[in-house]
């Protein structure tokens, strides 16, 4: 079969990124321009600034990518873009840019979901083999998903309230840590010990998750200690929170592995950048004799490489979009078992 080159575009949050990937698994080149330093000054992503910066940067990112790849847009077979979920203004910049490239260069347009990107980033390590259990841990998702084939999903467990990444971001704020929250909580946690007693959420045999009670427990503990005039040991509190949060992921993953006789696990989403979670997942999978895949660190945070990977099965199925494609700030990914 002829090689397929897909140009992927990602602009759902504060990274402008474009990539070319061959056959859904071989990165030709990627450019990522992050706005993190700008948003850090405001303590979080400012949507209006994010979309303006995407607009300013996206052609520069494309030029840089093409020169690294030593290719032209006319050389690729399709243009893929993250259409959901994310900041609407930011998504729109990517979607309209993708439509323009598709129109000018007469290439099919592929609308790819951001979470599909996080899942298919694993193809950069090793081609997905089915069935597998996807442990999805991101800013907006916490799910255990059984994948029986490309884009065939069965949700085994999901969060009843906050997503795990969201809880890291909220706890970071409580601890007064700057944006981005997750990596900063991890840094603090690495300097402390889990000495604070926090409640273990969902201590049962269900596969669902909960993170809001844990976050509230952190807030209450800090408040109560301050009321008593005690100083909080921030490193220990970060470590205690992280330990309980990841314990929940590991406990539920273990249950799913046992219940569904899982042989392969992949981890997807921004929280998989955590060294601590990576280590705990490795221990679990070694204990259960399960094959584990986690994307390399640079593909855990938002990038267009993962979008071009996720678009490949869509390309093979001719799942193309027309120019009526809209960006969507929210769209639940696992709503159907089929694409």
Binding site for Zn ion (CB under 5 A): 302
Task: List the single partner that 182 binds among ligand KG4, Zn ion, none, CB under 5 to 8 Å by kind.
Answer: ligand KG4
What is the size of the binding site for ligand KG4 (CB under 6 A)? 20
Q: Is 140 one of the binding residues for ligand KG4 (CB under 6 A)?
A: yes
| Residue-wise DSSP of 175-242 | TTPPSSHHHHHHHHHHTS---S----TT-SS-S-B--HHHHHHHHHHHHHHHHTTPPP-HHHHHHHHH
Per-residue x/- track, 159-178, ligand KG4 (CB under 6 A): ------xx-xx---------
Contact range with ligand KG4 by CB under 6 A, out of 55-63, 123-131, 135-143, 254-262: 135-143
Nearest residue to the partner ligand KG4, using Cβ: 270
Question: In this structure, which long-range contacts are made by residues 332-335, counting pairs with CB atoms below 8 Å and at least 24 apart in sequence?
Answer: 333/113, 333/114, 333/115, 333/116, 333/141, 333/153, 334/115, 334/143, 334/145, 334/153, 334/155
Q: Three-state SS for 319?
A: coil
- Confirm or reject binding of residue 181 to ligand KG4 (CB under 6 A): yes
Instruction: Give φ, ψ of 139 to 5 degrees.
Output: -70, -25
Pick one of Zn ion, ligand KG4, none as the site partner of residue 107 (Cβ within 5 to 8 A by kind). none
Residue 127: exposure state from Cβ atoms within 10 A (0-12, 13-18, ≥19)? exposed
Q: Which is nearer to ligand KG4, 150 or 302 (CB)?
A: 302
- What one-character-per-residue DSSP string does 287-303 give? HHT-EEE---GGGTSS-
Cα 70 from Cα 72, distance rounded (Å): 7
Which residue sits closest to Zn ion, CB atoms considered?
Answer: 302
Binding site partner of 192, from ligand KG4, Zn ion, none, Cβ cut-off 5-8 A by kind: none
Q: Are 166 and 293 in contact (CB under 8 A)?
A: no
From ligand KG4, Zn ion, none, interface partner of 162 (C-beta below 5 to 8 A by class): none
Torsion of CA 269, 275, 276, 278, to 10 degrees: 60
Q: Which of 123, 133, 139 is nearest to 85 (CA)?
A: 139
Cβ closest to ligand KG4, residue 114 vs residue 264: 114
User: Does the footprint of ligand KG4 cover residue 157 (CB under 6 A)?
Assistant: no
**From the list ligand KG4, Zn ion, none, partner contacted by residue 186 (C-beta under 5 to 8 A by kind):** ligand KG4
Nearer to ligand KG4, 47 or 183 (CB): 183
Phi, psi angles (nearest 5°) of residue 329: -70, -30
Shortest Å distance, C-beta 67 to ligand KG4: 27
CB of 252 to ligand KG4, least distance (A): 17
Chain centroid to CA 180: how far? 14
Q: Which of Zn ion, ligand KG4, none sits in contact with 89, Cβ below 5 to 8 A by type?
A: none
User: Which listed residue (44, 47, 131, 183) binds ligand KG4 by CB under 6 A?
Assistant: 183
Q: Is 138 in the site for ligand KG4 (CB under 6 A)?
A: yes
- Could you please report the per-residue DSSP string of 235-278? HHHHHHHHHHHHHHHHHHHHHHHHHTT--EEEEESGGGG-HHHH
Binders in 209-238 for ligand KG4, by CB under 6 A: none
Residue span 255-294 as binding mask against ligand KG4, x where in contact by CB under 6 A, dash where not: --------------xxx-xx--------------------
Residue 313 contact among Zn ion, ligand KG4, none, beta carbon within 5 to 8 Å by kind: none
Find the binding residues for ligand KG4 in span 97-126 (CB under 6 A): 114, 118
Residue (of 6, 43, 36) closest to 21 by Cα position: 6
What does the binding site for ligand KG4 look like in residue numbers (CB under 6 A)?
114, 118, 138-140, 165-166, 168-169, 180-183, 186, 269-271, 273-274, 302
């Amino acid at each position: 079969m002829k090689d397929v080159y897909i140009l992927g575009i990602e602009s759902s949050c504060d990274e402008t990124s474009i990539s070319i990937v061959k056959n859904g698994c071989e990165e030709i080149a990627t450019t990522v321009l992050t706005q993190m330093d700008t948003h850090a000054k405001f303590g979080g992503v400012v949507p209006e600034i994010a979309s303006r910066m995407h607009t300013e940067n996206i052609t520069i990112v494309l030029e840089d990518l093409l020169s690294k790849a030593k290719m032209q847009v006319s050389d690729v077979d399709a243009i893929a873009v993250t259409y959901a979920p994310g900041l609407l203004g930011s998504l729109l910049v990517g979607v309209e840019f993708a439509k323009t490239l598709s129109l000018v260069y007469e290439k099919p347009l592929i609308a790819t979901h951001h979470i599909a990107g996080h899942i298919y980033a694993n193809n950069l390590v090793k081609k997905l083999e089915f069935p597998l259990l996807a442990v999805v841990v991101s800013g907006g998702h916490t799910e255990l998903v059984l994948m029986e084939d490309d884009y065939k999903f069965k949700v085994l467990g999901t969060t009843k309230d906050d997503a795990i990444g969201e809880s890291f971001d909220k706890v970071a704020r409580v601890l007064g840590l700057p944006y981005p929250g997750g990596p900063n909580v991890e840094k603090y946690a690495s300097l402390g010990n889990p000495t604070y007693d926090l409640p273990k959420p969902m201590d049962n045999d269900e596969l669902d998750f909960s993170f809001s009670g844990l976050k509230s427990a952190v807030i209450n503990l800090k408040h109560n200690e301050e009321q008593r005039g005690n100083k909080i040991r921030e490193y220990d509190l970060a470590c205690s929170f992280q330990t309980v949060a990841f314990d929940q992921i590991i406990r539920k993953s273990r249950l799913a592995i046992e219940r569904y006789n899982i042989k392969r696990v992949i981890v997807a989403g921004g929280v998989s950048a955590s060294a601590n979670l990576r280590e705990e997942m490795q221990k679990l999978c070694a204990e259960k004799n399960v094959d584990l895949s986690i994307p390399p660190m640079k593909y855990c945070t938002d990038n267009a490489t993962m979008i071009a990977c996720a678009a490949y099965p869509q390309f093979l199925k001719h799942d193309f979009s027309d120019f009526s494609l809209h960006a969507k700030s929210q769209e639940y990914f696992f709503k159907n078992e089929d694409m």
